[in-house]
Amino acid sequence: MGMVLANGSLSSQTNNEGVIRKAIVEAGLVEGIVAMPDRLFYSTGIPVSLWIISKELGRQHKTLFVDAREMGTMVSRRLREFTDEDIAKVADAFDAFRKGELEDEKGFCAAVDVGDIAKQDFILTPGRYVGIKEEEDDGEPFEEKMVRLTSELAKCFEESNRLQEQIKKNLEAIGYGI
């Protein structure tokens, strides 16, 4: 069964939600959790999560976590859509997980044992389990990069000040000095 729930359902402790989450995780029913990006629905802009619940016997006692929050393409100011490639990537992760062939991908997916979920107090936020995608090293040493970036920032500040003065002069020229 698949359910779309508000992200609060992943971690809330109110109204016995934590107790309920614990029971369904310990029963091995939560096959997967997918954190979705915001603006996927016309009726609300909030991000949601997909819960995949399975009673399949013999299924591994693990849960697949997928962080898809950065996926999708904005098709308007208010609506995001998943591309066919986005859908295939998530589906492929589930297929590999079900076959027992999934390789965790930092920042995207991880198969997590119930014991590890228990250590996180049964909070099911995918980011806790998939981690952060490693950024590529650009090869520029930190100190050199900071010197370069602060120099660029100083130039931007100078340009900003120059433009402010130009705007003030232009306003004065038409009788609206500040």
pLDDT in tens, 72-131: 999 998 899 999 999 999 999 999 999 989 999 999 999 999 999 999 999 999 999 998
Q: For the chain, how long is the longest CA-to-CA vector? A: 81
Domain with CATH 3.40.50.150 in the chain: 2-130
Helix (H, G, I), strand (E, B) or coil at 158: helix
In this prediction, residues 55-63 reach a mean pLDDT of 77
pLDDT (tens digit per residue) in 3-38: 999 999 999 998 899 999 999 999 889 999 999 999
Q: Are 52 and 68 within 8 A, CB to CB?
A: no
d(CA 62, CA 128): 15
- pTM greater than 0.85: no
In this prediction, residues 134-153 reach a mean pLDDT of 86
* 168 confidence band (pLDDT: 50, 70, 90): very high
d(CA 81, CA 166): 43
Domain 2-130: CATH superfamily is Vaccinia Virus protein VP39 (3.40.50.150)
Whether residue 41 has pLDDT greater than 90: no
Q: Residue 21: what pLDDT?
A: 94
Q: Are 64 and 108 within 8 A, CB to CB?
A: no
Q: Read off the DSSP letter of residue 22.
A: H
Q: Residue 58: what pLDDT?
A: 60
Q: Residue 110: what pLDDT?
A: 96
Whether residue 57 has pLDDT greater than 90: no
